[in-house]
A and B are shown apart, each in its own frame.
Chain A
Amino acid sequence: MADSQTASLEPITAADGTPLKKKLAQALFRSRVRAVSLVVPLFAFVMASFVIPILALMWQGVYNDRFSSHMPNLTEQLTVWDGLTEPNEKMYEALVADLETARADRTIGRAATRVNQEFPGTRSLFTSTARKAKKLKPPFKESVIKANKKWSNIEVWQAMKITSQDLTPGFYATALDGRYTVDQGFVRQDENRQIYVKLFWRTMLISATVMGLCLLLGYPVAYLLATLPLRASNLLMIMVLLPFWTSLLVRTTAWIAILQSQGVINDLMVFVGITADDARFSLIYNMTGTIIAMTHILLPFMILPLYSVMKTIPPSYMRAARSLGATPTMAFIKVYMPQTIPGIGAGGLLVFILAIGYYITPALVGGQDGQLISNMIAYHMQKSLNWSLAAALGGILLAGVLVLYWAYDKVIGIDNMKLG
């Protein structure tokens, strides 16, 4: 030991005198190049189809130049305006000029929509005034207000000032049921317009419930899979995987057939006499429906990691525990269960993260109160076309998942996780 320490003061050299480290690096270079070149196609694919689109969309959540690019003159004026004093003639002049060009370019709708997102009900104000813009004569302040007296409302101008800033926290404020204003900064949205935070909490609640149900139902199945004789466990494994091989839509619509008020379960309950014909359970198009269908769909994601962990626990542990005097129950709780924690963690995390972003199933069977945040994101992507807000909502969701991941790492340790 002492010898090697004194020797290490001088760099060890290879037989030809080059430092050993350098020599080793040269020797490893070839194999490293080969390894990297094998990964390059996948890396490029992931970058192009996953990382870059996500970063682009995340960027949209804080950056939106719809207004500034179509109303350049007004943007210049709004930037110097303090946002509190009465809008001046110069600003009105710029407004008219921009409205005129925007109408000619047929881009007025885009700018109007952007302001409408910040201050609902102003879209028509822009389009109608733009139609008249050509005929408006100086002094513009008077003629514009004459064309539509809503222009005298300073809030419209404040909304325009907010939207004229390309880099804005406004979408994140909206996604958290707030508003970003010129004079007060962030303020909370009115009570009756708060929807997103409630939806985030509901998403968490439903995901947690689904995770809990999956664990409750999946644990015994995984245990059977790991302990039954090969032939029986193979059959069981096929039954676990069978839903995997069926289209998601088919499975979800099957639940509609089963759970609807004239469906199999309700018919059976009426037949047995559990419930009256006119008081059938509403099991679908509500939160119950979402939870049932999602639990079913996500169950394999819980069972498989659990199974892979349980498979590695030799039966001799349980035998040892019992020979040492533990009852079967105690042996299970004290010896078996703690060893399945990596599986519980992996399955739980997997199911929770999948559930938190689930979209098709809640859309089909969720009804009103079974909708998740992802359905709202889809709405903003497809219907309202407010991609920036969708990006902000998605960003918050991503942050939430990362926080959960971090918490999991702190509590259980990510090295402990075993996915398969």
Chain B
Amino acid sequence: MVQANDPFVSFKGVQKSYDGETLVVKNLNLDIASGEFLTMLGPSGSGKTTCLMMLAGFETATHGDIELGGRPINNIPPHKRGIGMVFQNYALFPHMTVGENLAFPLKVRNMPTAEVEDKVRAVLDMVQMLAFIDRKPAQLSGGQQQRIALARALVFNPELVLMDEPLGALDKQLREHMQYEIKHIHENLGVTVVYVTHDQSEALTMSNRIAVFDDGIIQQLADPITLYEKPENAFVAQFIGENNQMLGTVQSVSKNIATVKLDAGDVVKALAVNVGAVGSRTTLSVRPERCIVTAKKSAGTSSLDARIEELIYLGDHIRCRMSVAGDDQFIVKVPNTSGQLGLEIGALSQIGWKNDDCRALDFNESV
């Protein structure tokens, strides 16, 4: 989305190892544009937090360069990088009041007292916490502490703000509220944000671009829509949103459409995204909401026999677990429109999808 010619932050061939035996981050190349909101998304242990810590300066890269504004920062200590950071547990100093916490980054920069006062009040006003200026962090709720931590990372006008799972400790409702708030602050201030999370909905809500991490490698780097609609490999397809995955063997490929023989014996067509030559193994991936129950076979679609195993009524849609091609965990989301409620457990049916909605990806047995 945002793609400046000169990247603001740039990882160049970065590797990181803690024990000298395994690489936590393997050859990371990533450019982040100025003003961008980039999220590093991945399961725990995928290397995303390590990347953030290297950018903040708390870990040193074993190999490669990290550049900030065109300057290599490998040898610049954290306090000289001028990067704001919001920590997972907020790390508000417990012995200082909210005001003192916010004044801290300004005072260490020797800013005149009057100016410090103004800035602290301005930033507190921005997060609507001005009334709490004399409270100690322990007297605030989780959400309030979160706002103060955010304000503290912004008060000294850094060009880059890092956030390490900042909403992890909040309850669901507050977390969603804070997501919008952070998004708006980012839009208003125009700062560059690098955000680390393992929550995909959080990533989809806020980001310009998302880098999906797994096993020390960026699996896919794209904007939220592309990431959801066009996952490039089986891991991303499974990690972002919900997906039905089927294993099979490629029989033929023509015009980007692969014909795949499933392990259960059925033959379906799928969009060839990431497949090898004829005869190679592949993972087919199709979103639950793109499947149609009792579909009639027509050109450009595939359909399979299915048996309804379980129905869960969720109001706006019905979650339907089915047995399809030897897999009894096949999920179909049936929209709750009139005339669709004739589903019964044990009923035999047909499910189908457009060939373009089924993506043939790399073989990944673990999914």
A: residues with CB less than 8 A from B are: 314, 316-317, 319-328, 330-331, 334-335, 338-339
Contacts and interface: CB of A to CB of B under 8 A. Distances in A.
Given A316-B89, A316-B91, A323-B56, A330 B84 contact: no
Contacts of B363: none
Tell me whether chain A's interface is mostly helix, strand or loop, or mixed: helix
B104 A324 contact: yes
A336 to B, nearest CB: 10
B105 A316 contact: no
Given A317-B91, A324-B79, A331-B79, 10 more contacts: A319-B78, A320-B87, A322-B77, A323-B81, A323-B162, A324-B153, A324-B156, A325-B82, A325-B156, A327-B108
B83 interface: yes
B177 interface: no
Given A319-B58, A319-B78, A320-B85, A326 B91 contact: no
Interface string B145-166: 0000000110010000010000
Contacts of B57: 322-323
Contacts of B93: 317, 320-321, 335, 339
B94 interface: yes
Contacts of A319: 56, 58, 78, 85, 87, 91
B95 A339 contact: yes
B255 interface: no
B274 interface: no
Contacts, number: 69
Contact of A326 (B56, B79, B162): B79
Nearest to A326: B108
A320 B93 CA distance: 9
Interface string B305-319: 000000000000000
Interface in B56-107: 56-58, 77-85, 87-89, 91-95, 104-105
A319 B79 CA distance: 9
A320 B78 contact: no
Nearest to B164: A316
Contact of B91 (A320, A325, A334, A338): A320
B109 interface: yes
Contact of B104 (A316, A326, A327): A326
Contact of B79 (A317, A322, A335, A339): A322
Interface-central residue, A317, A323, A334, by most chain B CB under 10 Å? A323
A327 B109 CA distance: 10
Contacts of A328: 77, 79
18 contacts: A314-B89, A314-B91, A319-B56, A319-B85, A322-B77, A323-B81, A323-B83, A323-B84, A323-B153, A324-B85, A324-B156, A325-B82, A326-B79, A326-B104, A334-B104, A335-B93, A339-B94, A339-B95
Contact of B108 (A314, A316, A325): A325
Contacts of B152: 324
Interface-central residue, A322, A324, A326, A328, by most chain B CB under 10 Å? A324
Contacts of B89: 314, 316
For the complex of A and B, list the 6 residue pairs with the smallest distance between their C-beta atoms, beginning with the closest: A324-B105, A320-B91, A323-B85, A316-B91, A322-B78, A338-B95
A323 B109 CA distance: 12
Interface-central residue, A320, A322, A334, by most chain B CB under 10 Å? A320
